[in-house]
Amino acid sequence: MLTREFLLKADCKTSFGDIDDALLWSCEQRAASLAATLACRPDQSPVWIFGYGSLMWNPVFEAEEVATGRLEGWHRAFCLRLTAGRGTATAPGRMLALKEGGTTSGLAFRLPEARLHDELTLLWKREMITGCYLPTWCELALEDGRNVTALVFIMDPRHPLYETDSCRQTIAPLIAQASGPLGTNAQYLFSLEQELGKRGMQEEALTRLAAEVRALQQQSQSAAR
């Protein structure tokens, strides 16, 4: 499990697995990215973070408020080749990101202004190890009727780890077998399925993907007996 303590102490080069030096961002690069993102902050209203994957069940950062939210114009897709964390370079899995089109339901976290930089620095260490996302200010519709501006981590299609093919037949075998220092790729998928179900946000495509991954794992276990 990725904990706050682990993340605070983590060495990005080694703690998440073997990351290619050409892909690994330095502390300075992450700091510059964060500074550039904050420089584009639309106004001085509270900063919200939109969680659509593991941030939903394991945010790690501190938040003063959590609310259900809906993001228009983007959808979940396992389009990020996973070579660390829950996969390796030789047996890569797939990580969730956002691609253009559709809508996404998730959780919005309002960060404390007094600790904003510390919490965002921790978040950048978690999400921007290789700079694979584009931190983007987006309008988010909260369930209670409020509209807020939130930071959203969207897939950068120019990144070397971006994969255009994220259809179920392609990614299910990868997710079924991939694992790394943070656990298995399949467990990430199952945790997401469980969290979405608990919150009434089920997505048919994701449910079908999880079912296929379970079937593949069962086949593999039967063949090994």
Tens digits of residue pLDDT in 116-132 = 999 999 999 999 999 99
Other Cβ atoms closer than 10 A to 12: 19
**Tens-digit pLDDT profile for residues 59-93:** 999 999 999 999 999 999 999 999 999 999 999 99
The catalytic residue among 119, 127, 193, 195 is 127
Q: Which residues fall within 8 angstroms of residue 81, CB to CB, at 6 or more apart? A: 87, 92, 94, 95, 161, 162, 163
What is the pTM for the complete model shown? 0.94
User: Mean pLDDT for the chain?
Assistant: 96
Alpha-carbon 212 to chain mean position:
21
- CA atoms of 143 and 195, how far apart (whole Å): 17
pLDDT of residue 220: 87
**Tens-digit pLDDT profile for residues 176-193:** 999 999 999 999 999 999
**Tens-digit pLDDT profile for residues 46-62:** 999 999 999 999 999 99
pLDDT of residue 116: 96
pLDDT at 1 over 90: no
pLDDT of residue 222: 85
Alpha-carbon 3 to chain mean position:
15
Quick check: is 127 catalytic? Answer: yes
Among 214, 106, 102, 101, CA closest to 151? 106
